[in-house]
Amino acid sequence: MKNKLAVLDKKLPIRAYSEEMLNKVILMDLLPFLTKLLSLTDEVSADRLEIALPAIKTSCIGMGFNEIKKMFEMYVDSKLSLKPIPNYFDRILLGKIVSEYKVLTAKKNKPIMEEKEISEKEKEFIMIEAVDRIEKEVLQTGDIITPCSHIYDYIHKQGKLPKHTKEFKSKYLKNAKLKLKGVEATRASADYEIHKKLKTILEKIDNNNHDGLIPMVKKLVLIDYFKKDGNK
């Protein structure tokens, strides 16, 4: 029997073993190995080991015996987040060892996602596509639902939007404030969080703090820009 066990591929997952062979390997190979490794010198510990080991069949079904032994060696060497207990082993401890080992190996085997640096050409292409989407949204619905401040900044950088004259600022700040008040009134009962946020912005605006109006101003400018076909 010893010779037969010796020629077994211990890397094979235990699910590949027949029930008879699995029991023999656990009894003839794994049990003596753990008895020595865990210093299970008294009879009680030996009995607990014998009761616990059948759980290996389900808890370690995807592992081979070489890996199972390595797992217990890591436990003994304090490489798992469990403090080794000399001359002690039971089914509960087995479950903890297996669980901690699987957590550790999952972290090690997690693929590292490399961040691909986007070229300037790719960035330009992405922005052109985004502008096209926003333009279609305006022409089809008369409004912009998606965030668009970055689109405004991109087109403004190209010098295609009106200059920020005093009249320009006054007009769009006033329209943005009216628009926000309309949104606030419409959503007051539908969404309390949005209502609260808009109310805070409007209170700041009443105190001449116009920062909260900027996204709406940019949105209204873009709507007018695309409606007038100013980008052609």
Note the pLDDT of residue 97: 94
Q: What is the pLDDT of residues 47-90, one digit of tens each?
A: 888 888 888 888 888 888 999 999 999 999 999 989 998 888 89
Note the pLDDT of residue 115: 58
Note the pLDDT of residue 34: 92
Q: Residue 146 burial (CB < 10 Å; 0-12/13-18/19+)?
A: exposed
Regarding predicted confidence, which is higher, 105 or 116? 105
Query: Please, what is the Cα angle at 34 between 32 and 37, to 5 degrees?
Result: 110
Note the pLDDT of residue 49: 85
User: Please, where are the H alpha helices in the chain?
Assistant: 2-6, 19-25, 31-37, 43-52, 56-59, 65-76, 91-109, 120-141, 149-157, 166-187, 192-206, 214-227
Note the pLDDT of residue 17: 85
- Residue boundaries of the structural domains of the chain: 2-109, 120-227
Query: Please, what is the Cα angle at 42 between 40 and 48, to 5 degrees?
Result: 65
What's this model's pTM, rounded to 2 decimal places? 0.46
Q: What is the pLDDT of residues 10-37, one digit of tens each?
A: 678 888 888 888 888 888 898 999 999 9
* Residues 128/158, Cβ–Cβ less than 8 Å: no
Q: What is the pLDDT of residues 122-168, one digit of tens each?
A: 888 888 998 999 999 899 988 888 888 889 999 999 888 888 788 87
Note the pLDDT of residue 116: 66
Q: What is the pLDDT of residues 201-217, one digit of tens each?
A: 666 666 666 666 788 88
Q: Give the C-alpha separation, 29 to 12, whole Å.
A: 15
